[in-house]
Every structure is written in structure tokens, then in C-alpha cells.
Structure 1
Amino acid sequence: MSGKLKVTVRVDLECSSVHIDVRGRVDERNVLAVYSLAQRANSLAPGLEVAIDLQHASVDAAVLWHLQACAVSGFLPEYADPLQAECRLTILAPEPQGERADVVLAA
């Protein structure tokens, strides 16, 4: 996979949610871009549910752990959000390699 991320952001103000779909390889070099998008989405309106969808991305284990820790704590890292605004963050993690249930092999 290339070092570039392909990102689609969908905002639904009626349902108070933002869905950030990330594709590509997410690692420690580019995760700040993901945090920045989450911070911008979180600043649109108070109480928005921000979902980061990594199901179609390749994510370094340490990066995934930090993203999930942010979801649990309800805050983005201070370097991404110096004001430390509360964030209703959900991480949709990729399936572990080799465990795709939707793949069927036919003989």
C-alpha cells in the first residue's frame, strides 16, 4: 500500500454524526492526519459522534491501540487537540489478517 491515505468524510448533522472512512496504510507518520480530521469533525457541533472507519485500511498495531485508547478516554491526544475538547469517538477496526469471514474458496 502507498503512504498516502484516501479519506472520505460524511457529515450527518441531523443524526449528529460524522463518519471518517480511511483507506491505505495508517502508521505513526500519518496518523496525525487522522487525528486532525477527527478534531475538525468534533469541532463542528457539540456532541457529534465521530466514527473513524479503518475496516478497509492497514493499521499499525501501536497506532490502532492509541486510537482505541482515545475512544475509551473520550479525548484526542493533546498534540492533535490542545484544547482537549471531549470527543465521542468510535473506532471501527480492521479485521485481523487471515480472518476474513466473507471470503469463500471454491474448488
Structure 2
Amino acid sequence: MNSKLNIVVRIDLDHARAKVIAKGHITVHSVNALYVVAKRANSLREGLDLELDISHARVDDAALEMLRTSSETHHLPTKIDPQQAPCTISVLAPRRKAAVPAAAMAA
């Protein structure tokens, strides 16, 4: 998987929805790029439902926790959005690989 962060935004203003799709490696540093894109999308229309699709990205645990916190608080971090505008954000998290039992690996 490429470590470069690739972000695509799809916006449907008629239905007040936006989807931010990220691929690549999301770290505690690169997550700020997602936040900036989310802030710009959120500013287009009041009450916009914003979905962050990171299901095809490699996401560090700390970065995933940061995104989940934003989802729970309905606000982006203060350093990204000092005005703290409401942001309805949902995170479509990456799939976790199921652990393979050691006995199955030995067979």
C-alpha cells in the first residue's frame, strides 16, 4: 500500500451529504490534512452530514482515536477549527484482519 495520502471528496449539496475518501497511510501528523478537508467541506452548507471513509487506508491507532473523538464530540480539533463549528462526522473505519489461530497456521 502506498504511504502517500490520497484524498477524494464527493459532495451532494441537495441532500446535505459529503464523503471524504482517504487512501494511503494516516498518521497523527497526516490526519490534520483530513481535518482541513473536512473543515472546508463542512463550511459549504450548515447541517452537512460528513462521512470519512478510511476503510482502504492504513491508519495508526492514535490517528483513528483522534478521528473517533471528533465523531463523538461533533467538533474538529481546536487548532483546525478555532470557531468550533458543529460538524456531524462519521468515520467508516478500516477493516481489521481477523487473527488466525496458531493451530490453523501450523496445519
RMSD: 1.2
CA apart distance, 1:7: 1.1
- Counterpart position of 1:34: 34
Greater helix fraction, Structure 1 or Structure 2: 2
Provide the identity percentage. Answer: 37
- Counterpart position of 2:104: none
**Once the two structures are superposed, what CA deviation does each residue of 1:12-58 show, in whole Å capped at 9, x if it has no partner?**
01110000000000001211100000010111010000100000000
- Counterpart position of 1:54: 54
- Counterpart position of 1:85: 85
Question: Which of structure 1's runs of 4+ aligned residues deviate more than 6 A?
Answer: none
CA apart distance, 1:97: 2.6
CA distance in 2, matches of 1:30, 1:88: 21
CA apart distance, 1:3: 3.5
Task: Work out which of the two has the higher radius of gyration on C-alpha atoms and give 1 or 2.
Answer: 2
CA apart distance, 1:11: 0.4
- Counterpart position of 2:24: 24
The 5-angstrom pairing of residues 5-24 of structure 1 reads 5-24=5-24
CA distance in 2, matches of 1:81, 1:3: 26
The 5-angstrom pairing of residues 64-79 of structure 1 reads 64-79=64-79
Any unmatched runs of 5+ in structure 2?
100-107
CA distance in 2, matches of 1:37, 1:66: 15
CA distance in 2, matches of 1:73, 1:60: 20
Aligned pair count reads 99
- TM-score, with structure 2 as normaliser: 0.88
